[in-house]
Amino acid sequence: MAAGGKRAGSRRGARPPRSLNRAALGLGAAITVLVVAWGYLVYAAIDFGTAARGGSSQAWTFMALACVGAIACLFVGLLLVARMMRVLGITAPTPAADEQPRPVGGKRAAR
């Protein structure tokens, strides 16, 4: 038997509709593309390294370019993972140096 009165309604409000987080979706797609590119470049670097050890001098250049590309893909991918964590609210943004509160009183007051 529920109590009847003017405040006898449900205590929960209506749930807000879920919306699509477009920023997170875009970052997820970019991270996926970068991880796939990184994997392909690592595979290419291994292949070029095998060819270079076989005597092809031009393969050393391609191997070096594939290594630099793989490093760049992994670095940018990790940066985007950090940004995605901020967009999803997992991490908080750090305050700028001029936004931090200054200590009151200085050295003399600390004594």
Residues 6+ apart with CB under 8 A from 45: 63, 66, 67, 70
For 41-57, write each residue's pLDDT tens digit: 999 999 999 999 988 88
- Whether 13 is covered by a domain: the verdict is no
Answer yes or no: is pLDDT of 26 > 70: yes
Residue with more model confidence, 89 or 109: 89
Instruction: Say how many domains are in the chain.
Output: 1
- Closest by Cα among 64, 58, 73, 24 to 45: 64
Answer yes or no: is pLDDT of 7 > 70: no
What pLDDT was estimated at residue 100? 63
- Whether 50 is covered by a domain: the verdict is yes
- Whether 7 is covered by a domain: the verdict is no
What pLDDT was estimated at residue 107? 67
- Whether 66 is covered by a domain: the verdict is yes
Name residue, tokens 């936004």.
99
* Segments forming the whole domain that contains residue 81: 33-91
In DSSP notation, 38-104 reads HHHHHHHHHHHHHHHHTT-SHHHHHHHHHHHHHHHHHHHHHHHHHHHHHHTTSSPPPPPGGGSPPPS
For 57-100, write each residue's pLDDT tens digit: 899 999 999 999 999 999 999 999 999 999 998 988 776 666 66
- Whether 48 is covered by a domain: the verdict is yes
pTM above 0.85, yes or no: no
